[in-house]
Amino acid sequence: MRYMWLVALSCWGELFAQDTTRLRLLFVGDIMQHDAQIASAFNATTQRYEYAHTFQWVKPLVQAADLAIGNLEFTLAGKPYKGYPQFSGPDELAFELKNTGFDVLATANNHSADRYKKGIYRTIDLLDSAKIIHTGTFKDSLARANTYPLIIDKNGIRIALLNYTYGTNGIPVPQPAIVNPIDTVLIKHDIQRAKDRHPDAILVLLHFGDEYQRSPNRFQKRVANLCFREGAQLVIGSHPHVIQPIEFFPEKNQLVAWSLGNFISNQRPRYRNGGLMLWVDLDKIRTDSVTSVTRIANASYDLAYVHVNKRKKFHLLPVTHPQVDSLLRTDSLALKTYTEFASDSRQWLRQHNRHVNESTALWMYAVIRRRDTPAPANPAGCSFMWDDVAYPCESLYATRAEAEIVRSLIQQAEPDSNPVIQLVRAAIDRKTEHRLKTPDR
């Protein structure tokens, strides 16, 4: 009888151990609007600003996330539209960000007060109109008290999201508006308020660091460590306009991305012409009928390069996307800077990241779209070419999350008979996950 009870308890424990809910987060860096971008987006025929082309290549990736979160580093203060140094971007961009798939925007940064009270208020109103969740700036203390920390429930997982900036470029924040400052006492208080709401995870978005420096400074490390000590699991940085490393500490269930770089901007110098798309999977595991634990299950990144074509149109290009080569083939200078950005970023991140590698989803998609991928009658004999080297198709494995991204990218583009697609779909259907065995890229 005792043995039977032990067996029953063991089975009960296994049942709840398998009750796992996943939330897939996507973080991107600085979303900016310089003069050249504003001029490029204007359609003289319609007299409107158009941005669909800017995001068309990254849109399937953004929409693959359960929650896509970005840093809005300009105001929506209305006309006259202007870039640096006091930004006000076209209203149309807010709605295109929503259409692209962004769910949440952080608004506390050094440009929050560029257009004074009107800029803060109107940005809040426009994001509300676009149905984009936002946090970091508020019309007054009552609005902050009622909506902060930001609590989001998605996929059965509750997250608390906080946002702060080191400053506002010397422009005083006009009362009664609030732009959250990086103040250690305030951050401690806010994290405790977040804990009182019983979230499964606490995320802190920090606008800090030295511009154009590829490594975090002491201030960044001190503030991030404070957030972790107080109970945060994720710290995501912005402001330097270049990529800084990502560090994941599985044993502590903590991850910090020091700077995601520029998502979209007109900063063209080396290291500034692109950024990271950071994927973080949160797993909520129910251990019994009332207890659960939430952990960072996976973290990976994609690189996105800002391409300005010969017509001065801006396009965000995911590095490794199979159609990028054809897009840049006639522009040798763009191809050179694109290749340089990819090489610089990969080398830096491989050297300095901790437990965070490049996502395999785009690589898999690139393999699928390669026209020299054979489709033999016997899939067991399948192989694909990569950098002039043949690899067996059975070497292609992915996590469910990565495979699902690939599925969203395929969109009926390839026939079911393609053996690589069969493998991808098999990966989606598998209950257990397998890390990709990738050739060096």
Q: What are 269-272's contacts with CB under 8 Å, separation 24+?
A: 270/337, 270/340, 270/341, 270/344, 271/212, 271/214, 271/242, 271/243, 271/341, 271/344, 272/212, 272/241, 272/242
Whether the pLDDT of residue 1 is over 90: the answer is no
More reliable by pLDDT, 93 or 433: 93
Confidence of residue 286 (pLDDT cuts 50, 70, 90): confident
Residue-range domains of the chain with CATH: 19-308 (3.60.21.10), 360-429 (no CATH)
Residues present in the chain in total? 441
Residue with structure tokens 């310089």? Answer: 34
Confidence of residue 6 (pLDDT cuts 50, 70, 90): very low
Whether the pLDDT of residue 376 is over 60: the answer is no
21-55 confidence digits (pLDDT tens): 999 999 999 999 999 999 999 999 999 999 999 99
Confidence of residue 12 (pLDDT cuts 50, 70, 90): very low
Whether the pLDDT of residue 9 is over 50: the answer is no
Lowest-confidence segment of 7-11, 30-34, 127-131 by average pLDDT: 7-11
More reliable by pLDDT, 287 or 415: 287
Single pTM value for the model: 0.84
74-126 confidence digits (pLDDT tens): 999 999 999 999 999 999 999 999 999 999 999 999 999 999 999 999 999 99
If you average pLDDT over residues 405-414, what whole number do you get?
55
Residue with structure tokens 């422009």? Answer: 171
Separate counts of helices (H) and strands (E) for the chain: 14, 21
Residue with structure tokens 């140094």? Answer: 85
What pLDDT score was predicted for residue 149?
A: 97
133-177 confidence digits (pLDDT tens): 999 999 999 999 999 999 999 999 999 999 999 999 999 999 999
Whether the pLDDT of residue 332 is over 80: the answer is yes
